[in-house]
Amino acid sequence: MLFGPPGAGKGTQAGAMVERFNLCHLSTGELLRSEIAAGTPLGLQAKALIEAGNLVPDSVVEGMIEDKFQSVKGVKGFLLDGFPRTLAQAEALDAILAKRGEQVTACVSIMIPDALIHERIAHRAQIEGRADDARPEVVENRIKTYHDKTEPLIAFYKKAGKYSEIDGVGTIEQVRERIFSAMDKF
């Protein structure tokens, strides 16, 4: 799985990781934005939560992920981006994978300082037109939510021996090489 705060570069790095390791990229953010664009009931529910900087309920995200695990074929594995975000989701993921006789192989975490998060998200809002990135109070809430709810996963995956932290400061290529080096160990 690909882990890190908003704006760390997960989406930027995912394509190269997918190509090199024959993975299917599952970005919960992209899955949810697709539902929002389609105007589905799930999309409408998610839109209000995301626009406020909050997380979508676990059951919704877990169901989307499990559906993808069942429907996508012809890959060596999945690159999860944006899931799990809480300890409860990590435990649910373990249960979903156990039913399939599988387990999480690695958690690669791209880490950047909060000041850089603000800078990158502001830039992303301008070039991608993402409403969830445009308002400073929403960005601040997303950062706080990350620190409060997602960072505890670091200890969870370290304890399992599956955690690798990557310095996300530098060029795209420098960060990518750090990621590939970490993934090659798993």
Give the domain CATH number at 13: 3.40.50.300
Residue 73 has what pLDDT?
93
Task: Write out pLDDT tens, residues 35-49.
Answer: 889 888 878 888 888
**Model confidence, pTM:** 0.81
Which domain covers residue 24, as residue numbers? Answer: 2-184
CA end-to-end distance (rounded Å), the chain: 12
The average pLDDT across 133-140 equals 79
Mean pLDDT of the chain: 89
Coil, strand or helix: which one is 186? coil
Residues whose CB is less than 8 angstroms from the CB of residue 172 and which lie 6 or more positions away in sequence, other chains included: 9, 12, 13
> Which sequence positions are flagged as catalytic?
10, 85, 124, 130, 142
- 104-108, 135-139, 146-150, 164-168, range with the lowest pLDDT: 135-139
In percent, the amount of the chain with pLDDT more than 70 equals: 97
Structural domain total, the chain: 1
